[in-house]
Chain A
């Protein structure tokens, strides 16, 4: 048997999306606050962050959950009911959430209350990641080249004018490495970096032709990048990798990887990896579909499986004392860190 490949790929979808189509009686779109429901902690949760001692989880239907121990969760009111994709804290109090409908939410009280800073459903674009240099200055990346920055704490957002944002691709993550290099990982082998705090950007060569879903800082200059079907690479020195030109993009532009520029880290699975968290000494924990939790030890060429007790897709992981908090299709749970 040969599986029949569905002809649909993402670019095809993007192309169709570009065609004008007027829905006769479509939404006068307004944000609807999320419903507070008992089962929210069991709904799809995709991202986690820590605000001081509190873990904040975000996910489907605008759900925002707070917990001190990872076991008991309470739902914080949310001004939107769309899927929230990312939560980032600048410090214990100030934090931002990104989501579909280009929603950006901000908190000033450690996640208890959230204000809607940006909501543009008509763009049909999602925010996939946020990076804030301080309370006011930050960058948002997302679907179909969404690439914005703010200088006023999220009140206004300007598109970043860069060739990196001109390929109709999803930018899945933006990560600050330990040497200050910013790394964007995204769809179809996309890796881009900024060496000047986000002012200028350039594509860099990629060891893999598929999509990356994220990166974790590892070592003084390095990063672990991971993505579709368990593909994981350790890039020892991101700042030193050669660039490639966007207009040279082939179907899957890889560029020429120098010797030792990327080290493949074998995953014991072909499950896609969506998110990760760095652990002390340059290690990382990565999570993905089918309840996959993998541990990266510095210098290793293989990822080790951590039993997660679930087979549901996972969206994120966070370390909380001796527990690991998992967010995924069936909500938020904890497992032992040992």
Chain B
């Protein structure tokens, strides 16, 4: 049988001539190195660690995120954790039980690792104060008195203070039946540079909830002394029943001291601890606890991983059963599965070797790899079985199959790898990780599917008679259907098929603009709308006025300039403009509070809610606002403007961001008009310098923080010190340049931080890069298709159905309201990757038949019998398997499931219906003649 067609025929012969002996020559060599590699990579894969991170999910190179990083120490980031306590029943929060629980939760949150303790905020923290006007001046104090005791007088006092502190809607619900504890997480420990363990934080947060809402508790007690801790000491308390896994394999860190009294941490296996269950005396049936934040999402997504793996196994099992039914041999059914699993092992091994962990949001990548691998495996086994049925030996059948499928299969896989590699263009670390991850996986398939499987098949002994019978039976069974399908190569059926495709394309193109970028839903789209997390999120949004969606804009000015009226007036006007912008719920910042306090200085009069022109009065006002308020930085060269948005839909965010930019430009022009000597060009340069200095400062601080933990005489410390000194010099230089700008400059409203700021940047990057990614994916596909078929017709026959499915996939996303975001973006490349396999296998066989002189209908009928069966089988088997994902607890697995089912089936139809219809009008033999017209 001729290997392939066209000018590539000679090429493929050459390639095969080189590769074949390598695989089929000394097979034991192949077996040996494959085994060694698998063992090595399996060992590496075993080291694979879950690796979640906030920063890698944001586009750090985006200008917004540079502002984000520059001011993170001053104004926090977006990695917020909110713990809300709601009083059940109709009572307000001013009672002993509620306040006790609120105090308890505040204290517990304070000790959560990685949390920025300065930013812990609740009624019980000292950064929450009130001011009131009394005769002769102002009076201010903590909302909850420092010597708080649960007395009726104190409840009344706290209630009054809460009213005065202007925190209703923020820290206390509007109806005063709930209160909030708020904090922010730091991803890296500043001193050690150690990365935060999000799962641990999530577990501890859940335990805080349990401490209030669980009736039982489980105490882990030492059975023997550890350091200075005696036997019987409680070293951990959990409020949910420990799992068997935890009891057997979990470890508990015991903080104790050695003989010299030096504090040490000793990990003790839970098997060596006594677990005692008892009633939780802290339990309250009056208070419900709701927790949201990135850490909690990570925790919940990771918790669902076990379930995800379950679905994964279910998919495998279903594929196995279907394969068994299809081939009639368990041995053969297992083979592609084992090869696929080996591919995933290699993928994990390579990932670990490259220094990565597995991100919870990338959990679906191995499934994709598995699906692609199974798809190729089925093709291979199917072709091999056909050869066996034709009476060949295992070895010859394998070799023949190899000759026929190695080149198109590898082409398809290389196209996949390239497709996944192109999403690396998107400058978000987590997407890049996914890109590498998928590329590693697909590259592994090339080996497992095109080397391991062929060798293995040469050793498989089966009874050819059985297969022959089966083959004949299958042919009879499918023949009428295949005959019917082959009619699509006739003029009219082909024209009608193409007509329908054009109709579908029109519908899809019309639907495409509805595709949402970012999140459209409330809560998080990764989890089900009815998940615990999203319910918590809904409860918090409902009960607190100021939502959880915050865009922080940083107003930048000269150091100490915020005591000038003209500076603050700009920020005040900015906030008012934002308040008047659609999609903004409220906007507040330093001027908001300065006006409030100025009114306070003026006996609380409402007509003194202004910014005074007098610089001394301004300075006095400012003295009321330390940088710990989070409203301004220490030298007041930057102020955070908080814009609470109504939702986080891409359209809303885009509009607000546009308005900020419009205001910034208009304000600069207005400033220049009234301040003679203003050079806006110089001011723009100054802003760029401020940004550059900000980045230098970050680098400098990073080294300084590291130095604290190091021995000053070590080589590493010396190196760091030298770098730090250099950076300091650079920073001083940059600051001098900033100070040297003579032109007066308007306040610069720099975008952006806060969770909405992160979304704005991510959406921009995704929107900007997405079409570019698709473009490059197709460039790669087209190049490889051309190389394989050496004909424009071949490229078009495969690419047109493929691109139709791609466009339809977007329409399906728009229709199902699945937003285009970090978690769903790989779908872009995926849509292409899956379909290209089918197309290449089908077209290669079809053109082969035509070159052999068959007419189009017969050639296609032959193709259906050879590869079409496998395409149908794969489409159905994987479609059914992946269909089970719809029942996953993870919304994004369900979303992916829907999209994959769509793509498996749509591409299947594309390959067996649309491709031949196109071929009807396009294919020619290499001698230029058209195939006989049926």
As a 0/1 sequence over residues 578 to 593 of chain B, the CB contacts with chain A under 8 angstroms (1 = contact) are 0110000000000000
A272 shortest CB reach to chain B, Å:
5
B576 lies within 8 A of A61 (CB): yes
Which residues 108-130 in A have Cβ within 8 Å of B in the complex?
121, 124, 126, 128
Known: A19-B616, A21-B614, A100-B610. 7 other contacts (CB 8 A): A5-B136, A8-B137, A16-B617, A30-B674, A39-B580, A124-B612, A228-B133
Show 26 A/B contacts (Cβ-Cβ < 8 Å), sorted by A. Answer: A1-B141, A1-B146, A5-B137, A5-B139, A6-B137, A9-B136, A9-B137, A17-B617, A23-B565, A23-B615, A25-B744, A26-B564, A27-B674, A28-B675, A29-B613, A30-B674, A39-B579, A39-B580, A43-B576, A209-B135, A210-B135, A228-B133, A313-B604, A313-B606, A315-B607, A328-B606
The 6 tightest CB contacts between A and B, nearest first, are A1-B145, A6-B138, A3-B139, A85-B607, A9-B137, A46-B607
- Indicate whether B699 reaches chain A with its CB closer than 8 angstroms: no
> Could you tell me if A5 and B134 are in contact, using CB atoms closer than 8 angstroms?
yes
Q: Which of B141-179 contact A (CB under 8 A)?
A: 141-142, 145-147, 163
Tell me, yes or no, whether B250 is within 8 Å of chain A by CB.
Answer: no
Output the least CB separation between A182 and chain B (Å): 21
B 614-649 to A, binary, CB cutoff 8 A, 1 in contact else 0 = 111100100000000000000000000000000000
Q: Which residues of B contact A43 (CB under 8 A)?
A: 576
Tell me if B50 is interfacial: C-beta within 8 Å of chain A. no
- Whether the pair B606, A290 counts as a contact (CB closer than 8 A) is no
Number of A-B contacts (CB under 8 A): 131
From B135, B606, B614, B744, A315 is in contact (CB under 8 Å) with: B606
A49 interface residue (CB < 8 Å to B): no
User: Which residue in chain B gives the minimum CB-CB distance to A101?
Assistant: B613
Q: Which of A17, A29, A228 has a CB less than 8 Å from the CB of B603? A: A228
Chain A interface residue bracket vs B: 35 or more
Closest B residue to A39 using CB positions: B580
Distance of A174 from chain B, by nearest CB (Å): 15
Residue of B nearest to A81 (CB): B573
Say whether, besides A37-B576, A39-B579, A46-B607, A4 and B139 are in contact (CB < 8 Å).
yes
Let me know if A233 is at the binding interface, CB within 8 A.
no
Residue pair A8, B601 in contact (C-beta under 8 Å): yes
Contacts A5-B138, A8-B138; is A26 near B674 (CB within 8 Å)?
no
| C-alpha spacing A8/B598, complex, angstroms | 11
Q: Shortest Cβ distance from B929 into chain A, in angstroms? A: 72
Chain A nearest Cβ from B581, distance in angstroms: 10
Expressed in whole angstroms, the Cα–Cα distance for A101 and B607 within the complex equals: 13
**Is B609 an interface residue when CB atoms closer than 8 A count as contact?**
yes
Q: Which of B163, B603, B617 contacts A272 (CB 8 A)?
A: B603
B140 close to chain A: CB less than 8 A: yes
Contacts of A2 in B (CB 8 A): 141
- Decide: B603 and A10 in contact? CB cutoff 8 A: yes
* B610 and chain A: residue at smallest CB distance: A83
Complex Cα–Cα for A195 and B836 (A): 98
A121 engages B163 (CB within 8 Å): no
Cα–Cα distance between A81 and B134 once the two chains are bound (Å): 30
Residue B261, interface by CB 8 Å = no
The residue that A290 contacts in the complex, of B136, B163, B602, with Cβ under 8 A, is B163
Chain B residues within an 8 Å CB radius of A47: 607
B532 within 8 A of A: no
Q: Chain A's nearest CB lies how many Å from the CB of B599?
A: 9
A184 to B675, CA, bound (A): 40
Closest to A44 in B: B609
Q: Which residues of B contact A23 (CB under 8 A)?
A: 564-565, 615
Is A82 touching B610 in the complex (CB atoms < 8 A)? Answer: yes
Q: Is the CB of B141 within 8 A of A27?
A: no
Nearest-CB residue, chain B, relative to A271? B604
Task: Quote the shortest CB–CB distance from B820 to chain A (angstroms).
Answer: 32
Instruction: Give min CB distance, B821 to chain A, whole Å.
Output: 32
- Interface flag for A314 (CB, 8 Å): yes
Residue from the list B139, B145, B617 in contact with A6, Cβ < 8 A: B139
Q: Which residues of A contact B604 (CB under 8 A)?
A: 228, 272, 289, 313
A7 touches B607 (CB 8 A): no
CB neighbours of A39 from chain B (8 A)? 579-580
A259 on the B face (CB < 8 A): no
In the docked arrangement, what's the CA distance between A226 and B565, Å? 32
Instruction: Give chain A nearest CB distance to B463 CB in angstroms.
Output: 82
Which chain B residues lie closer than 8 Å to A128 at the CB level? Answer: 607
Who on chain A is nearest to B130 by CB?
A: A3
Which chain B residue lies CB-closest to A58? B607
B566 within 8 A of A: yes
User: Is the CB–CB distance between A21 and B615 below 8 Å?
Assistant: yes
Secondary structure of the B contact surface, majority rule: mixed
Q: Are A124 and B133 in contact (CB under 8 A)?
A: no
Chain A: minimal CB distance from B601 (Å): 6
Chain A, residues 147-170, CB within 8 Å of chain B (1/0): the string is: 000000000000000000000001
Residue A318 at the B interface, CB < 8 A? no
Chain A residues with CB under 8 Å of chain B are 1-10, 13, 16-17, 19, 21, 23, 25-30, 35, 37-39, 43-44, 46-47, 60-61, 81-83, 85, 100-101, 121, 124, 126, 128, 170, 172, 187, 209-211, 213, 228-229, 272, 274, 289-290, 311, 313-315, 328-329
Q: Report yes or no: B605 in contact with A274, Cβ–Cβ below 8 A.
A: yes
Whether B89 is near chain A, meaning CB under 8 Å from some CB there, is no
List the B side residues contacting A30 at CB < 8 Å.
Answer: 674
A284 to chain B, nearest CB (A): 19
Which residue of chain B is the closest to A213 with respect to CB atoms?
B605
Task: Report the minimum CB–CB distance from B571 to chain A (whole Å).
Answer: 14
CB distance from A225 to the nearest CB of B (A): 15
> Known contacts A27-B565, A27-B566, A37-B580; is A228 also within 8 Å of B616 by CB?
no
B676 proximal to A (CB < 8 A): yes
Question: By the criterion CB–CB under 8 Å, are B606 and A44 in contact?
Answer: yes
Give the chain B neighbours of A35 by CB distance below 8 A: 576-577
Partner of A3, one of B141, B576, B579: B141
- In the complex, what's the smallest C-beta–C-beta distance from A210 to chain B, in angstroms? 5
Whether A229 contacts B744 by the Cβ 8 Å rule is no
Tell me, in angstroms, the Cα distance from A13 to B614 when the chains sit together.
10
How far is the CB of A21 from the nearest CB of chain B, in Å?
Answer: 5
The answer to whether A8 and B620 touch across the interface, beta carbons within 8 angstroms, is yes
Q: Which of B137, B605, B613, B615 contacts A7 (CB 8 A)?
A: B137
* Chain B residues whose C-beta falls within 8 Å of the C-beta of A17 in the assembled complex: 614, 616-617
| Chain B residue at minimal CB-CB distance from A28 | B674
Bound: A7/B137 CA distance, A: 7
With A16-B617, A23-B564 as known contacts, state yes or no: A6 contacts B607, CB within 8 Å: no
Q: Pick the contact of A1 from B132, B147, B620 — CB < 8 Å?
A: B147
B139: chain A residues at CB < 8 Å are 3-6
* Chain B neighbourhood of A82, CB < 8 A: 610
Which residues of the other chain, B, contact A8 by a CB distance below 8 angstroms? 137-138, 601, 620
A46 touches B620 (CB 8 A): no
Whether B616 lies near A21 (C-beta < 8 A) is: yes
- Give chain A nearest CB distance to B932 CB in angstroms: 73
Are A4 and B135 closer than 8 Å at their CB atoms?
Answer: no
Is there contact, CB below 8 Å, between A13 and B607? no
Q: Which of B220-279 contact A (CB under 8 A)?
A: none
Complex CA distance for A46 and B676, rounded to whole angstroms:
35
**B624 CB, min distance to chain A CBs, angstroms:** 8
Residues in A neighbouring B613, C-beta threshold 8 A: 27, 29, 101, 121, 124
CB distance from B351 to the nearest CB of A (A): 52
Chain A positions within 8 Å of B609 at CB level: 44, 60, 83, 329
A309 CB to closest chain B CB (Å) equals 14
Whether A272 contacts B141 by the Cβ 8 Å rule is: no
Expressed in whole angstroms, the Cα–Cα distance for A23 and B613 within the complex equals: 10
The residue of chain B having its C-beta at the shortest distance from the C-beta of A6 within the complex is B138
Q: How distant is A75 from chain B, measured CB to nearest CB, in Å?
A: 12
A9 and B602 alpha carbons, distance in the complex (Å): 8
The answer, among A6, A28, A121, A329, for a CB contact under 8 Å with B140, is A6
Contact check, B580 vs A38: say whether CB atoms are below 8 A apart.
yes
Chain B residue numbers with a CB within 8 Å of A1 are 141-142, 145-147
* B146, B565, B605 — most chain A CB neighbours (10 Å): B605
Q: Assess whether B580 is in contact with A329, with CB atoms less than 8 Å apart.
A: no
